[in-house]
Amino acid sequence: MSHLDTLTVHAGREDFGKLGVHAPPIDLSTTYPVADLAVGTASFDALVGGDASAPNPIYARLHNPTVARVEQALAQLEGSEACVAYGSGMAALTALLMSARMRGGHVLVVRPLYGTSDHLLVSGMTGLEAEFVEAGEIATRKRADTVLVVIETPANPTLGLVDIRAVVAAAGDVPVVVDSTFATPVLQRPMELGATYVLHSATKFLGGHGDVIAGVVCCSEENAKVLRQVRAVTGALLHPLAAYLLHRGLPTLTLRVERAQHNAGILAQRLAAHPKVARVFYPGMGTVAGDGLLASQMRGPGALLAFELHGGHAAAAAVMSRVRLITPAVSLGSVDSLIQHPAGLTHRVLDEATRQACGITAGLLRLSAGIEHVDDLWADLEQALDLEQALDLEKA
């Protein structure tokens, strides 16, 4: 299968003919009978040690066949040897940081990134010292105990692009993790650019329907082995029903991303022309950091955009309250369009100085375009913006 469109449909389903099924089977068992103690003991040792599978799954915290199936599919989509799935994107990041802590205590981080990811790194909960740097400072800020470089591109919420190849080169022998949630494998494959790990909040585009919480890390089998050890001990395995829903969403991934991207591009242009909008952040428009990387690093600008309103917080709150078709809610990557206020919601956990430094102002809204008709989406945005503008004129 040479085309991603085909791979999204068939990945993880190669044995369906042999099984005699047409939909992924769901295994909801919490425990598995151990008829042969020697086999059971060997299986237990293998799974606790981080092996991808064993003759007996033993216990669902250690391994689940339904989860393993979607892991196989996502590894194929990212072009990695392995994928390890967790109960959420934050659980995936936490496991990754815990595995890094085994090697040292210092992490280099490039902002901006998802607010809770930032908060976890700042908090020191994982025992790591997080140093926040510009991408161009990585080579000079590395230390002997630096164990990981963390970047998110496109960045949440201002859509800035970070040069993955340059970061990998600067990091040298230090592993690089790329949060590629906004891009998905449809638009970006970081491992082809040298990244060690690719992180996804699979809740978003990979699931795509707002009905599953999941996180995944794609990497080499050697690194996956350590991540599975952490998962087995912490109990962060993805639930099999969530794994089933995640797998069910993959066949339409390319279609959803392409349609949502089409909508986002049109909305970004129309928003940029509206008098109530001070600035639009969208790759390809010359409005985001690293915009020139789009042609060399991605296969499209994506389905996320952000826009800053004249009028600050009051204007942003008013628009969120006046949209009728677009859902005012956090998260992204669903089939329906979502709008949210980063400073008041997803990035509220950051201190004000950090938010300002990252361009997360009081008037900034982030929009995740869905697959609705773009004219209906624009009509909804336009009426919300025009009403806000009319009220401003009345006050004047």
Residue 2 confidence (pLDDT): 73
Q: What is the pLDDT of residue 248?
A: 97
pLDDT digits (tens, 9 = 90+) for 298-344: 999 999 999 999 999 999 999 999 999 999 999 999 999 999 999 99
Across 269-293, average pLDDT: 97
Active-site residue (options: 69, 111, 189, 204)? 204
Known catalytic residue: 225?
no
Per-domain boundaries in the chain: 4-251, 253-395
| 59 is a catalytic site residue | no
Cα separation, 189 vs 298, whole angstroms? 8
Average pLDDT over residues 236-256: 98
Is the pLDDT at 384 greater than 60? The verdict is yes
CB 316 within 8 A of CB 362: yes
Domain 4-251 in CATH 3.40.640.10: yes
Write out the DSSP string of 242-260: HHHHHHHHGGGHHHHHHHH
Whether 393 has a pLDDT exceeding 80, the answer reads no
Q: Is the pLDDT of residue 392 over 60?
A: no
Per-residue pLDDT tens digits for 343-375:
999 999 999 999 999 999 999 999 999 999 999
One of 3.90.1150.10, 1.10.1040.10, 2.102.10.10, 2.60.40.3080 is the CATH number of 253-395, namely: 3.90.1150.10
Share of the chain above pLDDT 70, in %: 97
Supply 124's token pair. Answer: 């020191």
61 part of the active site: yes
Residue 179: active-site member? yes
Compute the average pLDDT of residues 139-164: 98
Q: What is the mean pLDDT of the chain?
A: 96
| Contact partners, residue 15, CB within 8 Å, separation at least 6 | none
Catalytic residue among 179, 189, 256, 366: 179
Distances (CA, A) of 196 to 107, 245, 288, 394: 14, 27, 25, 56
Domains 4-251 and 253-395 equal at CATH topology level? no
Catalytic residue among 27, 51, 61, 225: 61
Render 179-191 in DSSP notation, one character per residue. Answer: E-TTTHHHH--GG
> Terminus-to-terminus CA distance in the chain, angstroms?
62
44 is written with which tokens?
Answer: 């237990």
Residue 143 CA to its chain's centroid (Å): 28
Of the listed 59, 114, 197, 244, which one is catalytic?
A: 114
Counting residues of the chain whose pLDDT is more than 90, the rounded percentage is 97
pTM above 0.85, yes or no: yes
| Residues in contact with 245: Cβ distance below 8 Å, sequence separation at least 6, in sequence order | 207, 209, 211, 212
